C-alpha cells in the first residue's frame, strides 16, 4: 500500500505532507509544495517504494550512500522506511561518506588514474 492509504499523508497550508513524526522523525516533511512542485524528498519516497515494494523482484535491502553534509536526512529516510512497514537497519542502510584532500608537500593534489596520480587506502 502507498503512504496515503496507510494514513501517513496529509494536506496543510496548500502543501502535501508526509507525517514522518509518526515514525520517529523530528518533524513532518513536505512532499508536494504549495506551488505544486515536488520536494526532493518525494523522489526519495518513490525510489524507495520502487526498490522495496515493486511487484516484480523487490530488493531485500535499500542501501543509500550520502555525503556527510546530508547526515540530517537520516531521520526522514528511516521514518520513510518504517512507514512502508519495513525495518530500518534491516531493509534500509545508510552509509555516510566524505571527500578528503590528499596533500603532497603541503599542497592538495588532484587524483587522476589517467595521469597515474592515485593514492589508495592501502598506501596510507
Which of 10, 12, 11, 18 is CA-nearest to residue 48? Answer: 18
Q: Is residue 121 part of a domain?
A: no
Q: Is residue 124 part of a domain?
A: no
Give me the torsion for CA of 54, 57, 61, 63, rounded to 10°. Answer: -80
Indicate the pTM of the whole model.
0.79
Is pLDDT of 90 > 90? yes
Region 29-49: mean pLDDT is: 97
Q: Is residue 3 part of a domain?
A: no
Region 82-109: mean pLDDT is: 90
Q: Is residue 36 part of a domain?
A: yes
Q: Is residue 117 part of a domain?
A: no
Residue with cell 589508495: 120
Cell output for 107: 599542497
Q: Is residue 86 part of a domain?
A: yes
Q: Is residue 114 part of a domain?
A: no
- pLDDT tier, 1 (very low <50, low <70, confident <90, very high otherwise): low
Residue 68 is part of which domain span?
Answer: 9-109
Total domains in the chain come to 1
Q: Is residue 4 part of a domain?
A: no
- Distance between CA 34 and CA 83 in Å, rounded? 23
Residue 111, SS3 per DSSP:
coil
Amino acid at each position: 500500500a502507498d503512504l496515503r492509504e496507510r494514513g501517513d499523508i496529509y494536506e496543510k497550508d496548500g502543501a502535501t505532507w508526509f507525517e514522518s513524526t509518526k515514525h520517529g522523525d523530528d518533524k513532518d516533511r513536505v512532499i508536494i509544495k504549495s506551488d505544486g512542485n515536488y520536494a526532493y524528498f518525494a523522489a526519495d519516497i518513490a525510489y524507495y517504494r520502487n526498490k522495496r515494494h515493486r511487484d516484480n523482484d523487490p530488493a531485500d535491502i535499500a542501501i543509500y550512500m550520502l555525503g556527510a553534509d546530508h547526515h540530517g536526512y537520516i531521520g526522514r529516510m528511516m521514518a520513510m522506511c518504517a512507514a512502508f512497514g519495513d525495518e530500518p537497519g534491516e531493509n534500509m542502510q545508510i552509509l555516510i561518506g566524505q571527500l578528503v584532500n590528499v596533500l603532497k608537500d603541503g599542497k592538495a593534489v588532484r587524483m587522476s588514474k589517467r595521469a597515474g596520480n592515485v593514492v589508495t587506502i592501502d598506501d596510507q
